[in-house]
A and B are shown apart, each in its own frame.
Chain A
């Protein structure tokens, strides 16, 4: 356990001292600020159901950027950079187990992801003031929505850690993880309307698409304040599977 914590500390320091995180933060908060101001303007001038506010607040374009683009950028260096520079040899010849390194690196990326994500809640706190929305905005669904975003983020980060362990090219590592996360987010949502009579023969196709429909999980469940254990399990298990695959990939590298 102490080795995982040591790895988390070192990786987190590396995120905090790298300019990449700050560039992401600035762009993200700027983008989100503009989006939120347009929602608020829309609601105040045109009127709108404040109950819808939570799902609108959670499901912004910036949220999609946060779960499609940001995790692969955070994790691309995890192993690819270590392999490129050769420092992986120093790391893996220390008395650590591979899974401890993998979990440590992922956990640090996840913590940094949360550090980037959480300040966007501050806007919500500002909005609670009388001068903005003079209506009782339900905040709890927003928090549930953030739990959803964090879970999707955890999964995509674990995919990013995995792709980073496969190559020593950071660009390739990040692009392949982005491809996966983009596929995960848009794939089921795009495919579901095309589910027709042919799927009656293969009912698992529809089940699979429903189970993996991230956008629906976020909009119909988390952003409505519904934290469903089945939906959570999908992300938790998915994360564990990819972390396991990363460990296997590190083990397999030794055999080459």
Chain B
């Protein structure tokens, strides 16, 4: 649905987006992750035809963003960051106006606006002026606007920024529900949020795409994997466990009175020696209480790739 190839966007001497390429297929929910000022909004603005690219191409639903912007925009529901919408209009008036502007037929307009308001939970404030509703509602009005013409693609720029935890949870649930009918590309700088909602993640920093893959794929590559073993074994037993395996020496805890001792093996990306370690412990006659694979969090992965970005190496799946 979205195809970006070698996209570059410069503002004067500043390169906001530097040769990024990615694709988003129909039905995917892709989280666009990066610190503030990484180039997320700029990339999104190129896709919504708000800014033209300096070089490279971007296609949305088969239409080129430069050659056919109106066709592209008719395929997109866009929620910009900070949701700048007219404060002097009532919610229902605004959505009706937007539906008309987006070409929803007059006869279907009322139903379309009603459905979008229902979906985003703004029906109770429909008669209120947008300037008088809370930030959370304004965000949802913005989302209702993005949905009103039922576009196949939704592009949401920081949809949860400025919301309180409850509103944020509701917004996340809503985005997950939307995934049934729409292809969703949404940006955020809150890691946990992206992990909760999206099926795929792209990480961008300083205008460069550092990672692109499903959460599991990305975490496979991340450091911080460890195997924690609690067994009735001596330090020597523990050290012998890694014979023939490419694992660093474990960090050992103190053995308790009953002889249980915990060892922590740092693993490299993709390693999972649980079966082998369990088998060896059994063979040596050591009792095993716990064998746990600790996976890195998205946060450690994010830290890892952004630090890696200091070096020119690019991590991609």
Chain A residues in the interface with B (C-beta under 8 A): 2-3, 6-7, 9-10, 13-14, 17-18, 85-90, 92-97, 254-256
A9 and B80 CA atoms in complex are apart in Å by 24
Chain B residues in the interface with A (C-beta under 8 A): 11, 45, 48-52, 70-71, 73-74, 76, 78, 80, 82, 84-86, 88-89, 93, 97-98, 100-103, 142, 145
Q: Do B84 and A90 touch (CB < 8 A)?
A: yes
Q: Main SS of chain A's interface residues?
A: helix
A96 and B49 CA atoms in complex are apart in Å by 11
Contact of A87 among B84, B100, B101 (CB under 8 A): B84
| Contact residues in A for B84 (Cβ distance below 8 Å) | 85-90
26 contacts across the A-B interface (CB closer than 8 A):
A3-B101, A3-B103, A6-B101, A9-B100, A10-B89, A13-B93, A14-B86, A14-B88, A14-B89, A17-B88, A87-B84, A89-B45, A89-B84, A90-B78, A90-B84, A93-B49, A93-B50, A94-B98, A94-B102, A95-B70, A95-B71, A95-B74, A96-B101, A254-B52, A255-B52, A256-B11
B107 to chain A, nearest CB (A): 13
A2 and B89 CA atoms in complex are apart in Å by 20
Q: Do B102 and A93 touch (CB < 8 A)?
A: no
| Contact residues in B for A97 (Cβ distance below 8 Å) | 70
| Contact residues in A for B93 (Cβ distance below 8 Å) | 13
Q: Do A93 and B78 touch (CB < 8 A)?
A: yes
| Contact residues in A for B102 (Cβ distance below 8 Å) | 94-95
Contact of A9 among B45, B71, B97 (CB under 8 A): B97
Q: Do A6 and B70 touch (CB < 8 A)?
A: no
Q: Do A7 and B78 touch (CB < 8 A)?
A: no
A228 and B190 CA atoms in complex are apart in Å by 66
Q: Do B103 and A90 touch (CB < 8 A)?
A: no
Q: Do A89 and B50 touch (CB < 8 A)?
A: yes
A7 and B51 CA atoms in complex are apart in Å by 22
Q: Do A86 and B78 touch (CB < 8 A)?
A: no
Closest to A94 in B: B101
| Contact residues in B for A7 (Cβ distance below 8 Å) | 101
Contact of A90 among B45, B71, B145 (CB under 8 A): B145
Contact of B51 among A10, A96, A254 (CB under 8 A): A254
Q: Do B85 and A90 touch (CB < 8 A)?
A: yes
| Contact residues in B for A17 (Cβ distance below 8 Å) | 88
Closest to B100 in A: A6
Q: Do A92 and B50 touch (CB < 8 A)?
A: yes
A86 and B50 CA atoms in complex are apart in Å by 12
A10 and B130 CA atoms in complex are apart in Å by 15
Q: A90-B84, A90-B145, A93-B78 are in contact. List 5 more A-B contacts (CB 8 A).
A: A85-B84, A90-B78, A93-B48, A93-B73, A95-B103
- State whether A87 and B85 are in contact (beta carbons under 8 Å apart), knowing that A95-B102, A256-B11 are contacts in the complex: yes
| Contact residues in B for A95 (Cβ distance below 8 Å) | 70-71, 73-74, 101-103
Q: Do B70 and A2 touch (CB < 8 A)?
A: no
| Contact residues in A for B74 (Cβ distance below 8 Å) | 95
Q: Do A90 and B80 touch (CB < 8 A)?
A: yes
Q: Do B97 and A18 touch (CB < 8 A)?
A: no
Q: Do B78 and A96 touch (CB < 8 A)?
A: no
Top 6 A-B pairs, shortest CB-CB distance? A86-B84, A95-B74, A6-B100, A95-B73, A87-B84, A93-B48
Closest to B71 in A: A95
| Contact residues in A for B85 (Cβ distance below 8 Å) | 87, 90
A90 and B157 CA atoms in complex are apart in Å by 12
A14 to chain B, nearest CB (A): 6
A112 to chain B, nearest CB (A): 15
Closest to A6 in B: B100
